[in-house]
Amino acid sequence: MHAWTLLITSHVAAALLSVSLGVVQLARRKGDARHRHLGRVWVVLMLWTAVSSFWIRHLRDGAFSWLHVLSLVTLVTVSLGVVGIRRGDLRAHRANMVGSWLGSAIAMVFALALPTRMIPTFAVDEPLGAAAALVVLAVTVVAVVAAGDRLARRSSAVVVPG
């Protein structure tokens, strides 16, 4: 098993957080300030997950894998989703963002389902550490959502002088 470097740890944390936050985004009302604030955080997490993957190549002895194709697709679809909403094309935005989330969720299933991968190995070798990591993930998701809610309330309370 390879070491949990800062790069791999930040990649895994961003991936877990983005998939979790994506569930929240899909379940919530769309288009309001809360959705926009959380969406910006989600985009950054997705982009970091995709970009950081290009330096993680130990699965195939330094070569790129099929997961890197998914990273390229993610970079394109998340970017197209942002462009879509900026142009007012809700349909393109929704399709690209949901597609990006589905792709990352599927990649996560593969990362969790294969017993030789780092996360399952960590869960078996260090069950308390894995449980603690899950608690930290849950607390982080709640904190990010609460911060998004607070920012949304604050931005809606701002009165523009006219």
> What is the three-class DSSP state of 117?
coil
- Residue 159 confidence (pLDDT) above 80: no
Q: How far apart are CA 99 and CA 116, in angstroms?
A: 27
Q: Are 96 and 81 in contact (CB under 8 A)?
A: yes
Q: Which of 145, 123, 133 is nearest to 13 (CA)?
A: 133
Residues 26-46: b if buried by 16+ CB within 10 A, e if exposed: eeeeeeeebbebbbebbbebb
The token duo for 140 is: 């982080």
Q: Are 129 and 122 in contact (CB under 8 A)?
A: yes
Q: What is the pTM of this model?
A: 0.82
Predicted confidence (pLDDT) per residue in 63-94, tens digit: 667 677 889 999 999 999 999 999 999 999 99
Q: What is the pLDDT of residue 162?
A: 56
